[in-house]
Structure 1
Amino acid sequence: MRRLAKRLVVAMQAGALLALLAAPARASICDVPPELVDSPVPLEATARGLRRGVLRVLVVGSASVFGPGGSGPDAAWPGQFATRLREGWPGLRVELEVRGARGMMADEMLAMILAVTTPRPHLVVWQAGSVEAARGQDTDWLARRLNTGLEALRERGIDAVLMDQQFSRFMRANSDVDSYRDALRMAGSVHGAALLQRYAMMQHWAESERIDIERTPRERRVAATDQLHACLGRALARLVLDGAADAGAPSPDNAQRPGPPQSDAAPRP
């Protein structure tokens, strides 16, 4: 009986090992459907910065740019984005500037963007539409400010990435959030700006029970918020690096070492 029992245990252990080896690798908590991060928008100024080994990035937005509810500003998505860029492009120096405030709306963000002088950023990441949706601001008002800012960036040879709202069941129930998402999507399409679909990503993570801030117990909410921002930073870095590759940036393995400083002015047409 003991021998039989021992053989059964060994057989069960072997079966468990075979099942483990045969099982597919566990998906990353940050994974999203490919269509949410695939961007056909070439980021030419970003590609120039990558080739030279220095990328200047300006992030403009409302409260989320500083990571409220998380463990601190370093864990917010702009810092996580910069970290992922460095990992994806070894040797890259990322000069990151973050501007914004709780309750800030698109007109104040536009003023910050229009005030940009030298040294110009290669890339502006503009998170907009959240406060407008929460306050019921007219979508045409938002669209006019987005159009003005994106046109100004394009004229100066600066790449732009828009980021839409956070997913929230409360906001979805109390505002026409899709109309604000459409305003950002349309503005990006007209002016050649990429769009990070934060709302759709967060909805995917919540509905697949990976990251759901609204339903996370209070004692685990800081860790969940940090995880959310890490995933957003990862997705944004992928979108930006893919856009730079579409603009002709070499892969990091083939990238040359940074040469002497050169002008970052966009080539004249």
Structure 2
Amino acid sequence: MGYNTRVNATTDRFPGELRDRRTARRISQLELAIRAGTTQRHVSYMERGRSHPGRAMVVRIAESLELSLRDRNKLLLAAGYAPAYAESRLDEPLLRPVRDALHSVLHGHMPYPAIVLRPYGEIVAANPALDVLTEGAAPHLLTPPVNMLRLMLHPDGMAARVRNLAQWGRHVTDNMRSHALRHPDPRLDAFIAELDGYLPAKPPPGADHLGFAVPLHLAAPEGELRLLTTLTSFATAVDVTLAELHLEAFLPADEATAEILRARAGTPRRRG
């Protein structure tokens, strides 16, 4: 089937899909028209079903709305066109080079924790250092598929060990809210509300308030760990599955934390 082939011309959901996605992102018809290289009148006609766009226009609109690859496929289908992006299973032979590369990255990050996550925090892979985060958590939170976000903030998970739970937990959910603004999804809104329910009231900023930079202060048998987090996404992926993955790595914020994590992994202390 060619890219320009209409797969279902009789069930055209595009006008409503376009209007809902545009308004959810608080983008005016004029702004969308400018981004997509068309006119406000054309956008208005498309939203009222008076003009049916070609496939190239649907792709430009999806890009202009900064939709995920999954949602770009949905918008194409709503307009009656075949999806543009493949969606492979992570265990397929086609993605074996990617799996091997991810495992190499996870191994190379030792002795510090690193995990690969699907949307909403489901763990796909992790290195052995993850045990410093999961130890002491209730079994029901460690039953696959494990959700890292729920594990981090749930009272039966890491929360009991997080010394700055109010600040750090709100940092996590605020980041999720920022993502939800760019990619509206009622399921994500419900999940954020669940996680917010696990957190204590956020105290007013003190003299040492660092804004968005909130290291994790985590109690461990060897002492308190201070951890920074980094997120890496597959920005140039053209497969839905890969585009939805991201790597979260935890880095020591001080030498004491680094030494504890190296000792746990049996890694010699670095010199120099």
Question: What TM-score comes out, normalization by structure 1 length?
Answer: 0.27
Q: Higher helix share goes to which structure?
A: 1
Q: Which has the higher contact order (CA 8 A, sep 6+)?
A: 1
Question: What TM-score comes out, normalization by structure 2 length?
Answer: 0.27
